[in-house]
Amino acid sequence: MTLVDINSLEPLADPLEQAKRAAAYMAVDQNVPKDAKFVGIGSGSTVVYAAERIGQLPNKDQFICIPTSFQSKQLIFDNDLKFGTIDQYLNVDITFDGADEVDSRLNCIKGGGACLFQEKLVASCSKKLVIIADYRKKSPRYLAENWRKGIPIEVVPIAWIKVKNDLINFGARSVQLRQGGTQKAGPVVTDNGNFIMDADFGVIDGDIKVLNDKIRGLVGVVETGLFVDMVEKAYFGNKDGSVTILF
């Protein structure tokens, strides 16, 4: 089976979906190594298109796909890809994942979908992390210029009040325990059985690594959604169907 050329695809009615698909398809076409053995599959709505394109690759049966969430496990099955887990296969050739915001140095905020821990785990085991996103995710300079919901932080449930106080002491303007849609639904519970807190530190124009290390050092914090110096390339789909690549 040969791969359908990106330029000859039927356009999608929604320009945002068109942008996501353009970024994801181009990133897959340009980056999956010919001899890939393990490919990481991130989470979110843009990754849906990456999994779709990976499922169209003529050599898809040659590699095993590693999920970063329950959602991405389903994507692997839905696209008839080979499945394995990160505790079986520690050396991932390349991972494709979405982001909530990416700065000009390719640092990013992730975790809008509450999957940040497994996403960071798989990314940290990957030779390459390629981000795929639509135009709204590209920050002109700093993180949290566009993304105003705060830094997602995964915490052990019993520690959330303690961590909230610590974050306020670190200078967070507000810290929210993420709720499952409505207050009545209760807190969002991650695939790892933890909670997500969203901490608003305003625009992050200081040293991101220092802030990240400080938060990660708190007892009760499992991981943050700040991905510092982890991304090799980012593909942003634009409204007109073109793609901007940062590396």
Dist CA 22 CA 47 (whole Å): 11
Query: Of 24-83, which residues contact ligand 5RP (CB under 6 A)?
Result: 42-46
Tokens of 77: 């099955």
CB of 97 to ligand 5RP, least distance (A): 5
Contact with ligand 5RP (CB under 6 A): which of 93, 97, 154, 198? 97
CA 175, CA 162: separation in Å to the nearest integer?
12
Q: Which range binds ligand 5RP by CB under 6 A, 107-115, 171-179, 213-221, 235-243?
A: 107-115
- From the list 119, 154, 223, 232, the catalytic residue is 119
Of the candidate residues 40, 112, 150, 237, the single one contacting ligand 5RP (CB under 6 A): 112
**Of 51, 64, 92, 114, the one binding ligand 5RP by CB under 6 A:** 114
Query: Which of 28, 64, 99, 143 contacts ligand 5RP by CB under 6 A?
Result: 99
Q: Return the number of other C-beta atoms located less than 10 Å from residue 112's C-beta.
A: 22
Collapse the DSSP code of 20 into the 3-class scheme (helix H, G, I; strand E, B; otherwise coil) and give the result. Answer: helix
Q: Nearest-CA neighbor of 82 among 30, 39, 144, 135? A: 39
To the query of whether residue 119 is one of the catalytic residues in this protein, the response is yes
Single-letter residue type at 92:
V
For ligand 5RP, give the closer residue by CB, 123 or 163.
123
139 touches ligand 5RP by CB under 6 A = no
- Residues near ligand 5RP (CB under 6 A), total: 17
Residue nearest to ligand 5RP (CB): 44
- Strand pairing class (101-102; 108-109): antiparallel
What is the distance between the alpha carbons of residues 226 and 34, in angstroms, rounded to a whole number?
30
* 186 backbone dihedrals φ, ψ, rounded to 5°: 85, 180
For residue 210, give every residue at least 6 positions away whose Cβ sits within 8 Å of its Cβ, in sequence order, or none. Answer: none
Query: Taking contact as CB under 6 A, which single stretch among the options 27-35, 97-105, 181-189, 191-199 is the one that binds ligand 5RP?
Result: 97-105
Q: Which residues are catalytic?
A: 119
